[in-house]
Homo-oligomer: A and B are copies of this chain.
Amino acid sequence: MTTSPPHEAPPPYDVASPGTLSGTERTRVRRLSERAATDRQALYDVLDAGRICHLGVIVDGCPRVLPTGYGRDGDTLYLHGSTGAVSLRAGGEICVTVTHLDGLVLARSVFHHSMNYRSAVIYGRPRLVTDPEEKLAGLRAIVENLAPGRWDAARRPTRKELAATAVVALSLEEASVKVRQGPPSDDEEDLGLDVWAGVLPVREVVGDPVPDPLLRPGIGYSK
């Protein structure tokens, strides 16, 4: 079943890696390695197109995966949370994954059903941001990634709000990108089957703005 984890490793057979964004063992994409992207721009593209990442931490010896916002500034990813948050206090390495589902791949065989996707996996030890200027820059990256222009449009954080918010920085040094696009990869001998095969494209759509019921009259939405 090729819908299985895109970043999965290792395969039942050994394949040479076409390369990754970093040279570590865990970012070497071993399963279906033809799907691995190697350039840094591919990483930026996947990250910049997303709004939610899935943050993996270890709490009490068990993995915990939480959705959260993020922002990128150069080769640094910023995450934030309440200063009391377990996931940001846990210490140790974290893993951040961003995934875009682009299509449902319907093959002639059940086995070759798959998904078209773009995904990035980043590993590293987060650094708590204590420098006030970097903290603001990190928050700005997070808010701008959510909705461009809002950092300038909305009221900036107060000292109290800043104190209640923890910002951590994660280097993009150790990362891998994997992409699958295109039609199904059916076995030669299945091509004659009387089964529809192809892709159902999937995309995320942002709809028309819904004003807050408390919005004062006369304030229009501008992107």
Give the B-binding residues of A (Cβ under 8 A): 1, 3-12, 26, 31, 51-52, 54-69, 80-87, 92-97, 99, 101, 103-104, 106-111, 113, 115, 117, 119, 121, 123, 139, 142-143, 146-147, 150-151, 153-158, 161, 164-165, 183-184, 186, 190-216, 219-222
Contact = CB atoms under 8 A, between A and B. Distances in A.
Mostly, the A contact residues are mixed
Contacts of A64: 7, 26, 56, 63, 95, 121, 123
Contacts of A86: 8-10
Contacts of A201: 206-208, 210
B3 A80 contact: yes
Given A62-B92, A63-B58, A146 B220 contact: no
B143 A113 contact: yes
B161 A68 contact: no
Contacts of A109: 154-157, 161
A183 B197 CA distance: 42
B204 A101 contact: yes
A67 B97 contact: yes
Given A8-B82, A12-B84, 5 more contacts: A1-B80, A1-B142, A8-B86, A55-B65, A200-B206
Most buried by B among A5, A157, A201: A5
A107 B155 CA distance: 9
A99 B201 CA distance: 19
Contacts of A7: 64, 66-67
29 contacts: A3-B68, A3-B146, A5-B85, A6-B67, A8-B82, A11-B82, A51-B101, A54-B99, A56-B56, A56-B64, A63-B65, A65-B65, A67-B97, A104-B147, A108-B155, A110-B156, A111-B155, A183-B212, A186-B214, A192-B216, A196-B220, A198-B209, A198-B211, A198-B212, A199-B209, A202-B204, A203-B205, A204-B204, A204-B205
